[in-house]
Amino acid sequence: MKRKTLLVFAGMSVFISASRAQVAPEVIKGFAITSAEKGGRSWKEVRMINVQSGEEMQSVFGAKSTIKPLNARTKRPVVSLLQASANTPLEMRLSAAPVARKVVNLDDELEERKVKGAVRVVRAVSVKKEDPLLPFATNSAAMAYDEKHNRLYFTPMGINQLRYIDLKSGKVYYFENEAFGNVANFSDVKNQITRMVIASDGNGYALSNDAQHLLRFTTGKKPVISDLGPVIQSEPGKVKIGTQYGGDMVADASGNLYLISAHRNVFKINIESKAAEYLGTITGLPKGYSTNGAMVEGGSKVIVCSSESTEGYYRFDLNTLKAEKISTGASVFNASDLANGVLAFEKKKKKNEKPAIEEESSMAKETSAEKTVREPQNQNSIRVYPNPVTDGRVKISLSDHPAGKYQIQVMDMAGKMIANRAFAVNYKNQLEELSLPDVAKGSYVIKIVNEAGEVRSTEKIVVQ
């Protein structure tokens, strides 16, 4: 009897252990720009970190790396730097060392200089004399992870240049002699870029501190860098977006950006209209905790870090703006930025999940348009948003369509064409916009048809 009891107990123990293993929480990880050590203020290291423990999982780029950057267009070694509008050589700017220096916060930098016996306070970034060609020689506080191409895009402080790390090869590329914003030097705080993200359309977006320059960069074979101009606040009487420096941006699945400023204020920015809405201030963070980096955990949850505090990482809800501590370690890497490839409010697909098909009665007949959506096809990828459509306009993000002439066709569920427009594909990742005619509420199908009349992609939309 004893032996049987022991065997039963042992079996139960194995079952309990297995059950615990099955419900073990998934590790939350992300990329962070940090110093070489916790508590440091030199933003030259890129790490993959475990958000729960606050520890490094993998070193992505080290400050001591002597890697030689390549031109993003030609793939040849970089030989020069894009200089500021004042054409002041970077070495001269770096050589202007102050008598006394104190950096209080990366997103609200203060530098003390002795001028004729008095101390004058000016905004600047603390840097050492280093080879200005090194990727992070001047520090960085703006980074975005391009999951599709496995790249980390970033821009250095005080230099208006877009760069990226190819995570497959470890090589670093610069968009040489291509202006990325208007920042002239380290003390040009209003034009400094410390916010960057890859949005739902596959493009990267960055915002200057004063919100006068929303920059977009495409990530396909022929990247295009554009300055979309200022972000306009819809309710100017509230906290003004142009006064909220630093922080970071995240994106949602519906074509919106969320700016989290260094002072905990949150704004929702519509990419299409460039209109910003003030959502409020994050609550529940420790006193003095600056929000310098942000990434989406999932759903409405966003994780933030501080460039000053090693106390921990926090998550807050975009709906309530209430924060709670997420890290459990004694200390974490303080970081100037966070990044991952997750979008807010994005529906997660379960493993081996198949598209849901509504059950039909034996008497129901399927229309030709419905059949097109349901039949498996060897299509190229498209994503249509917003969906449901509420204002008669949709955006269509195309991926990996061969270059050539195409048509966007809109069909009702009876198979009747209600709209069509010709366009040409020139880029690997391309965004098209379509205005729908005045149609009744209901379901419709968008088709992408090539010059040979072949349907390359379809997507069902709902008009409300």
Answer yes or no: is pLDDT of 142 > 90. yes
Model pLDDT, residue 440: 86
Residue in the structure block whose two tokens are 């006394």: 100
Residues paired with 256 in a beta bridge: 270
* C-alpha–C-alpha distance, residues 292 and 441, integer Å: 43
Model pLDDT, residue 130: 54
Answer yes or no: is pLDDT of 41 > 60. yes
Tokens of 205: 């977006």
Phi-psi region of 333 (alpha: psi -120 to 50; beta: other; left: phi over 0): beta
Model pLDDT, residue 464: 82
CATH of domain 29-82+130-339: 2.120.10
Band of residue 350 on the pLDDT scale cut at 50, 70, 90? low
Model pLDDT, residue 437: 85
Higher local confidence (pLDDT), 304 or 177:
304
Contact 329, 54 (CB under 8 A): yes
Contact 410, 448 (CB under 8 A): no
394-425 pLDDT, tens digit per residue, is: 888 887 788 889 999 998 888 888 888 888 88
Band of residue 427 on the pLDDT scale cut at 50, 70, 90? confident
- What Cα–Cα distance (Å) separates residue 427 from each residue in 222, 381, 399? 7, 13, 8
* C-alpha–C-alpha distance, residues 94 and 74, integer Å: 28
Contact 179, 111 (CB under 8 A): no
Model pLDDT, residue 309: 96
Answer yes or no: is pLDDT of 11 > 70. no
CB environment 298-308: b (16+ within 10 A), e (fewer): beebbbbbbbb
Q: How far is CA 145 from the centre of its chain?
A: 6
Tokens of 324: 């709670």
Contact 159, 183 (CB under 8 A): yes
Higher local confidence (pLDDT), 187 or 107:
187
* C-alpha–C-alpha distance, residues 220 and 255, integer Å: 19
Tokens of 265: 């204020």
* C-alpha–C-alpha distance, residues 134 and 170, integer Å: 14
297-349 pLDDT, tens digit per residue, is: 999 999 999 999 999 999 999 999 999 999 998 999 999 999 999 999 987 65
Supply the mean pLDDT for the chain: 80
Overall average pLDDT of the 41-57 stretch: 94
- Fold exhibited by the domain 368-463: Immunoglobulin-like (2.60.40)
Domain locations in the chain as residue ranges: 29-82+130-339, 368-463
85-98 pLDDT, tens digit per residue, is: 334 444 434 433 33
Band of residue 81 on the pLDDT scale cut at 50, 70, 90? low
Model pLDDT, residue 349: 55
Model pLDDT, residue 131: 63
Higher local confidence (pLDDT), 305 or 119:
305
Q: How far is CA 239 from the centre of its chain?
A: 23
Q: Give, rounded to a whole angstrom, the gap between the first and last alpha carbons of the chain.
A: 69
Higher local confidence (pLDDT), 228 or 414:
228
Q: According to the per-residue pLDDT averaged within each range, which of 38-47, 79-88, 391-400 is highest?
A: 38-47
Overall average pLDDT of the 364-373 stretch: 41
* C-alpha–C-alpha distance, residues 214 and 205, integer Å: 7
Tokens of 185: 């030097």
Band of residue 372 on the pLDDT scale cut at 50, 70, 90? very low
Model pLDDT, residue 59: 94
